[in-house]
Structure 1
Amino acid sequence: MAKYFQEEIETASREKIEQIQTEGLLDVVKRVYENVPFYRKKMVEKGVTPDDIKSLKDISKLPFLTKDDLRDAYPYGLLAVPLKNCVRIHSTSGTTGKRVVDFYTKKDIDMWEDGCARALVAAGGTDEDVVHVAYGYGLFTGGFGLNGGSQKVGSLTLPMSSGNTDRQLQFMTDFGSTILCCTPSYASYLAESIEERGIKDQIKLKAGIFGAEAWSEDMRADIENRLGIKAYDIYGLTEIEGPGVAFECEEQNGMHICEDYFIPEIVDPDTFEPVPDGQIGELVFTSFAKEAFPLIRYRTKDITYITREKCKCGRTHARIHRLMGRSDDMLIVKGVNVYPSQVEEVLIKQGMPANYQLIVDRVNNSDTMEVLVEMTPEMFSDKVSSIESKEKDIVTALKSMLGIYAKVKLVEPKSITRSEGKAVRVIDKRKI
Structure 2
Amino acid sequence: MKHDEMESLQLDRLRNTVGAVYEHVEFYRKKFEESGIVPADIKGLNDIAKLPFTNKQDFRDHYPFGLFAVPQEEIVRIHGSSGTSGKPTVVGYTLDDIKVWTEVVARSIVAAGGEKSDTFHNSYGYGLFTGGIGLHYGAEALGMAVVPMSGGNTDRQIMMIEDLKPRGICGTPSYMLNIAEKMKEAGIDPRQSSMEYGIFGAESWSEEMRIKIEQTFNLKAVDIYGLSEIIGPGVSVECHEAQDGLHVQEDHFYVEVINPETLQQVAEGEEGELVFTSLTKRALPVIRYRTGDISSISREICKCGRTTTRMSRVKGRIDDMMIIRGVNVFPSEVERVLLKVESLVPHYQIRLVRTEAMDNVELHVEVDTNLYETIAEDLTDTRAIQLKIEIQRSIKSACLISMDVVLNSPKTLPRSVGKAIRIVDLRNKNVVGV
* Counterpart for residue 368 of structure 2: 376
Distance 2:116 2:180 in 1: 25
Aligned partners of 1:267 and 1:274 also within 8 Å: yes
* Counterpart for residue 199 of structure 1: 188
Q: Secondary structure at the match of 1:284?
A: strand
Distance 2:13 2:118 in 1: 35
* Counterpart for residue 175 of structure 2: 186
Cα shift readout 1:234-265 (whole Å, capped 9, x = no counterpart): 00011111110000002000000000000000
Q: Cα offset for 1:367?
A: 2.7
Q: Is residue 2:219 matched to residue 1:229?
A: yes
Q: Secondary structure at the match of 2:339?
A: helix
TM-score, scaled to structure 2: 0.95
Q: Cα offset for 1:382?
A: 2.8
Q: Cα offset for 1:191?
A: 1.4
Q: Is residue 2:23 matched to residue 1:34?
A: yes
* Counterpart for residue 268 of structure 2: 277
Aligned partners of 1:165 and 1:190 also within 8 Å: yes
Q: Secondary structure at the match of 1:381?
A: helix
Aligned partners of 1:210 and 1:233 also within 8 Å: yes
* Counterpart for residue 3 of structure 1: none
Q: Is residue 2:238 matched to residue 1:238?
A: no
* Counterpart for residue 385 of structure 1: 382
Q: Is residue 2:353 matched to residue 1:361?
A: yes
* Counterpart for residue 3 of structure 2: 14
Cα shift readout 1:399-432 (whole Å, capped 9, x = no counterpart): 1122221010110111111111100000123455
Q: Secondary structure at the match of 1:413?
A: coil
Q: Any residues of structure 2 matched to 1:244-323 within 5 Å, and which?
A: 244-250=234-240, 251-323=242-314
Q: Secondary structure at the match of 1:354?
A: strand
Distance 1:212 1:389 in 2: 35
Q: Secondary structure at the match of 1:247?
A: strand
Q: Cα offset for 1:353?
A: 1.9
Distance 1:426 1:246 in 2: 26
Distance 1:127 1:96 in 2: 43
* Counterpart for residue 402 of structure 1: 399
Residues 1:362 and 1:410: Cα distance change in structure 2 (over 3 Å):
same
Cα shift readout 1:124-155 (whole Å, capped 9, x = no counterpart): 11111110000000100000111011111111
Cα shift readout 1:184-214 (whole Å, capped 9, x = no counterpart): 0001111122222222265100000000000
Residue ranges of structure 1 left out of the alignment (5+ in a row): 1-11
Q: Cα offset for 1:312?
A: 0.9
Distance 1:323 1:208 in 2: 18
RMSD over aligned Cα atoms: 1.2
Q: Cα offset for 1:83?
A: 0.8
* Counterpart for residue 326 of structure 2: 335
Aligned partners of 1:334 and 1:367 also within 8 Å: no
Q: Is residue 2:105 matched to residue 1:116?
A: yes
Distance 1:358 1:62 in 2: 38
* Counterpart for residue 378 of structure 2: none
Distance 1:282 1:365 in 2: 33
Q: Cα offset for 1:97?
A: 5.7
Aligned partners of 1:173 and 1:202 also within 8 Å: no
Letter in 1 for 2:214: E
Question: What percentage of residue pairs aligned between the two structures are identical?
Answer: 48
Q: Any residues of structure 2 matched to 1:146-185 within 5 Å, and which?
A: 146-185=135-174
Work out the number of aligned pairs and report it. 421
* Counterpart for residue 416 of structure 2: 419
Cα shift readout 1:319-355 (whole Å, capped 9, x = no counterpart): 0000100111111111111100111111011122221
Letter in 1 for 2:239: C
Letter in 1 for 2:135: L
Distance 1:62 1:363 in 2: 46
The correspondence for 2:315, drawn from 324, 334, 356, is 324
Q: Cα offset for 1:45?
A: 1.4
Letter in 2 for 1:393: E
* Counterpart for residue 8 of structure 1: none
Q: Cα offset for 1:98?
A: 2.9
Q: Secondary structure at the match of 1:80?
A: coil
Letter in 2 for 1:402: C
Residues 1:429 and 1:334: Cα distance change in structure 2 (over 3 Å):
farther
Aligned partners of 2:348 and 2:363 also within 8 Å: yes
The correspondence for 1:43, drawn from 32, 44, 53, is 32
* Counterpart for residue 6 of structure 1: none
Q: Secondary structure at the match of 2:98?
A: helix
Distance 2:382 2:124 in 1: 41
Cα shift readout 1:68-97 (whole Å, capped 9, x = no counterpart): 111101111100011100100111122566
